[in-house]
Each structure stands twice: as C-alpha cells, then as structure tokens.
Chain A
Amino acid sequence: VKNPSSSLKSRFITRFLGALTKTNAEDPISSPSPTRIFQRYRRIKVASNKSMAYSVRSRRIWSRALLSRFRSRRSAFSGRRSSVKTTNCTTSPPPALIKVTIDENKTAKGGLDMQTDELRELVPGGEAMDVCNLLDETAHYIKCLTTQVQVMRKIVDFYHHSK
C-alpha cells in the first residue's frame, strides 16, 4: 500500500532541516540579542511554510498560491511590507478581484458561500476556489499543517533533551 504522505513528510523534513542548518550557518549567534532572535524566528517560520509548500510542489491549489506568494515577495523585496499578524500571514487580492470570482462561482447554496468566507481567508488561495475545491484543499492543508507541527515539535524536543 502506497503511503504518499510519508514521502511528503520525508521531503519536508529534509528541506526544513536544510533550511535550519543554513539559518544557523549564516547567523551563528553566540550572544543573541532579542532582535536577532526575532529575525531568526521569522526566518524559521517562513522556512517551515516554504518547506512544506515546496514539498507539496504545484500539486495543490493552496501550495501553488503559497509558492507564487513567496516568489513575488522575493522579487518585491524593496520595502518591508510585513503585516503584524502572527497567527496567519495571508494576503488577500484586491477586493474587485474577489467579487468577480465569487460571483462566477455562485452556486445555488448561497448560505454555504457565506459560511465558507472565513475558511477562504485561512487557506492559501482560498478566495478563488469553488466550494468543492475549497473543502478538498482544506483537508489537505490541515494534514500538511499537522505534519509541520509534528516535525517541529520533535526537533524542539530533541534540542531540549540534548541541552
């Protein structure tokens, strides 16, 4: 029985550990200042989300949305446009774009559309998905998030035990 999720997990682990190693190498902190630790925290968080998105590649709408977001962020790196939300870092497309898309995908289930508004904001690329895709993508997104958390927890535990 094939288990694609275990190879996804392996890919994520390899990438994320690689990113952590890189972070450590570029920035070996012997006397960490709060600013440096904060910068490092930001970088690790991005590395975690990036690693997962790259591991999923373009097989999912949500991963494609994240990947294109990362690429545009990289090319538009002139000013710092960080939103201060710590719980999620979604950026929404301009309002006009959202309206048009939702109208085109209008199903007979108007009530369901309203109920999924919040979900659309949480799942990358959710604004442009039809309801079916949204629900499907959400399930996959949740599985990937739990994998991220699982792996990161193990890494933290490892460090705690070796200190």
Chain B
Amino acid sequence: MSGASNKITDDELNALILRLGTLLPQLNHGRHGRVASSSTTKILKETCSYIRRLQKEVDDLSERLSQCLDSMDITSSDAEFLTNLLQQ
C-alpha cells in the first residue's frame, strides 16, 4: 500500500481550497477570483465561520418569518411573490 493509490494530488487539493476561498466574502475584498496569499488554514477557518453565519441567518430569518406570518394570507400573494423573487 503505497502513496500511489492516493490519486489526490497537491494541485487538485490546492485548486479546491482556492475555489472555496473565492466564495468567502471576507477574503475577497472585491477582487473576484483572486485570493491574496491566504493560507489553507485561513481559508478553512473562514469557511467554517461563514457556514455558521449562514446557518444562523437561516435561523434568524425563520424566526422573523414566524412572527410575520400571523394573519397573512399567503395564497393570494403567491403568484406575486414568485414573480418578484424570480425576476431578480
């Protein structure tokens, strides 16, 4: 069992890590596609905190929706919603 069975190359891993980096708002500073000298460790850490933030946002938005939805009649607004949301 040698390293030859391991088909994952350094380059492939780096490419995947870099791609993750492009998804992270903090690391990009507006430069789309360029991740300035961010280490793998930093990218992984940022990725984790970004995911946590997003999950928390889903949480918070769910809470807000639960408060909004009291007497709203969604069915009549359905079509309007979809049109608005899908149009952007």
Contact = CB atoms under 8 A, between A and B. Distances in A.
Interface residues of B, number: 48
B67 interface: yes
The binding surface of chain B is classed by DSSP as: helix
A142 B61 CA distance: 17
Contacts of B48: 118-119, 122
Given A119-B44, A131-B13, A13 B62 contact: no
Interface in B28-81: 40-41, 44-45, 47-48, 50-52, 54-59, 61-75, 77-78, 81
B47 A13 contact: no
Nearest to A38: B66
A145 interface: yes
Residue picked from B23, B50, B56, B58, most chain A C-beta under 10 Å? B58
B27 to A, nearest CB: 13
Interface of A: 9-10, 13-14, 17, 20-21, 23-25, 28-30, 32, 37-38, 40-42, 44-45, 48-49, 86-88, 107-109, 112, 115-116, 118-119, 122-123, 130-132, 135-136, 138-139, 141-143, 145-146, 148-149, 151-156, 158-160, 162-163
Given A45-B62, A149-B58, A151-B85, A109 B13 contact: yes
A21 B86 contact: no
Given A142-B54, A154-B85, A131 B65 contact: no
B82 A115 contact: no
9 contacts: A13-B85, A25-B75, A115-B40, A130-B8, A136-B16, A139-B19, A151-B85, A156-B68, A158-B81
B28 to A, nearest CB: 13
B56 A138 contact: no
